[in-house]
């Protein structure tokens, strides 16, 4: 028998779950180092403008498509026009490929929680990280463990699993983040870190940076893979889309900025290069934590914070294909969760081994991990978002009326949706190909 379609038990639960999806490694891990590489404050300013005026449009599209059609991503596009069913599938394939590399990082986080808890703190994190990530057994085991942790909540259902997990983890996450950010500000020389974040250096402004900021904004808002369509499909009919979209943008950005406030003062106080790239979180910061008086406390707190951020995003990556499998293969939620976990488990193993055993196995000069990251973040994400805007703008009649009642706002929204945003996204896509 088909299960009845779930609905969020309150609007606040929807907002928390959507923030849980949006706030992830993208905010805590990627945002600070991309900002470090792109000149700090000028990047932040560009990012804020783009997210508030450009990314809000596809975000509204996904929320509205979910709310109008009240079904999974594949059927939502099928209902718009049966010709678009393939695109629903493409979104699902995208959202299945993302956890295949994202959960590898989740496994690293579990390992770091363990080494700090067990007081196995290495002397040299550079050496430790490269030798640990090249191992076979432990990293694979922890990737799969992280997968199970993300699958268990959607397995239990929308209200008793997803909602509950987010309602517990997200407030704890916020408290930890605020605590660590306040601690960071009290460090000597924290001023330099804050100046780096908040004093724009206009000479660093360039086209490449704009496109990087836009790509980051799409990734962090979980746009372009049907996640927001799926979460939006559990919304009540009377939900205000634009208000929900800006609430999500506000909190997602606030958390990314707080993550910066937590990281840059520490980085400057201990003279670490702010543009240390992806290794900032797994090498530079742990090295600093190890030097602090309460190293175990700070290490565990920081990696649990990262863990909550990654799990709540992981849950949404699992829920989107699960909802699609339930509707399209007519199977139970539990069965869908198990099948999906097996698929992701199989693909994520070679991705985990990309740092050791399979490090020389390359396709287009990229390891499996890098290829998954590149194909999804740089190609599929902007491409899917472009198609979503085109379909919403050109194939759904009076679409903008779902978002605004005011005629002038409708016109502006239509022009942005049909012409401006597709051109901008095309540019992101072309730059991603380079």
Please, which residue, 98 or 194, has the CB nearer to ligand PFF? 98
Q: What are 261's two structure tokens?
A: 């406030």
- CA–CA separation, 203 vs 260, rounded Å? 21
Provide the minimum distance between the beta carbon of 21 and ligand PFF in the complex, in angstroms, as a whole number: 5
Q: Give 389's contacts (C-beta < 8 A, 6+ positions apart).
A: 57, 58, 61, 417, 418, 421, 422, 425
Provide the minimum distance between the beta carbon of 263 and ligand PFF in the complex, in angstroms, as a whole number: 15
Assess contact for 274 and 149: CB atoms under 8 A.
Answer: no
Provide the minimum distance between the beta carbon of 26 and ligand PFF in the complex, in angstroms, as a whole number: 2
Provide the minimum distance between the beta carbon of 295 and ligand PFF in the complex, in angstroms, as a whole number: 26
Is residue 406 classed as helix, strand or coil in its secondary structure?
A: coil
Please, what sign has the CA dihedral across residues 141, 145, 146, 151? positive
- CA–CA separation, 77 vs 389, rounded Å? 12
Please, which residue, 194 or 235, has the CB nearer to ligand PFF? 235
Q: What are 418's two structure tokens?
A: 């049909």
Please, which residue, 69 or 219, has the CB nearer to ligand PFF? 219
Provide the minimum distance between the beta carbon of 169 and ligand PFF in the complex, in angstroms, as a whole number: 14
Please, which residue, 194 or 326, has the CB nearer to ligand PFF? 326
CA nearest to 289, candidates 312, 272, 310: 272
Residue 228, φ and ψ in degrees, nearest 5: -70, -30
Provide the minimum distance between the beta carbon of 251 and ligand PFF in the complex, in angstroms, as a whole number: 12
Binding site for ligand PFF (CB under 6 A): 21-22, 24-27, 95, 98, 219-220, 222, 225, 227, 313, 316-317
Q: Give 117's contacts (C-beta < 8 A, 6+ positions apart).
A: 296, 300
- CA–CA separation, 24 vs 47, rounded Å? 17
Please, which residue, 64 or 218, has the CB nearer to ligand PFF? 218
Please, which residue, 18 or 367, has the CB nearer to ligand PFF? 18
Distances (CA, A) of 116 to 120, 132, 164, 250, 302: 6, 15, 28, 33, 10
Provide the minimum distance between the beta carbon of 361 and ligand PFF in the complex, in angstroms, as a whole number: 25
The number of CA neighbours under 13 Å toward the Cβ of 177 is 25
């Amino acid at each position: 028998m088909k299960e009845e379609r779930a609905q969020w038990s309150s609007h606040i639960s929807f907002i928390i779950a959507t923030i849980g999806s949006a706030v992830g490694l993208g905010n805590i891990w990627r945002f600070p180092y991309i900002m470090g590489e792109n000149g700090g404050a000028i990047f932040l300013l560009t990012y804020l403008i783009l997210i508030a005026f450009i990314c809000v449009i596809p975000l509204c599209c996904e929320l509205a498509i979910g709310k109008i059609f009240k079904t999974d991503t594949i059927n939502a596009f099928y209902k718009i026009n049966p010709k678009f069913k393939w695109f629903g599938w493409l979104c699902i394939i995208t959202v299945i490929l993302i956890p295949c590399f994202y959960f590898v990082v989740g496994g690293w986080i579990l390992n770091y929680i363990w080494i700090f808890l067990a007081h196995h703190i290495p002397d040299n994190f550079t050496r430790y990280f490269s030798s640990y990530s090249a191992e076979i057994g432990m990293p694979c085991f922890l990737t799969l463990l992280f997968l199970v942790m993300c699958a268990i909540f959607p397995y239990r259902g929308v209200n008793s699993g997803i909602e509950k997990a987010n309602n517990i983890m997200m407030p704890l996450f916020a408290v930890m983040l605020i605590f660590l950010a306040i601690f960071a500000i009290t460090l000597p020389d924290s001023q330099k870190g804050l100046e780096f974040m908040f004093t724009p250096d206009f000479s660093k402004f360039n086209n490449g940076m704009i496109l990087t900021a836009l790509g980051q904004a799409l990734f962090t808002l979980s746009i372009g893979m049907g996640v927001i369509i799926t979460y939006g499909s559990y919304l009540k009919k009377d939900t205000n889309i634009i208000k929900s979209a800006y609430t999500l943008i506000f909190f997602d950005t606030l958390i990314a900025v707080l993550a910066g406030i937590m990281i840059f003062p520490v980085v400057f106080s201990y003279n670490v290069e702010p543009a240390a790239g992806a290794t900032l979180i797994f090498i530079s910061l742990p090295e600093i934590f190890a030097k602090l008086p309460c190293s175990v406390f700070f290490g565990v707190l920081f990696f649990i914070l990262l863990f909550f951020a990654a799990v709540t995003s992981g849950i949404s990556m699992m829920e989107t294909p699960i909802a699609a499998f339930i509707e399209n293969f007519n199977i139970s939620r539990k069965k869908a969760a198990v099948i999906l976990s097996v698929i992701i488990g199989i693909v994520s193993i070679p991705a985990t081994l990309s740092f050791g055993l399979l490090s020389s196995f390359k396709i287009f000069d990229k390891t499996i991990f890098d290829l998954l990251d590149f194909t999804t973040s740089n190609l599929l994400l902007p491409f899917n978002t472009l198609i979503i805007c085109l379909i919403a703008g050109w194939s759904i009649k009076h679409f903008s009326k779902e978002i605004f009642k005011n005629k002038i706002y409708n016109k502006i929204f239509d022009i942005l949706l049909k012409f401006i945003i597709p051109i901008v996204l095309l540019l992101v896509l072309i730059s991603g190909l380079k």
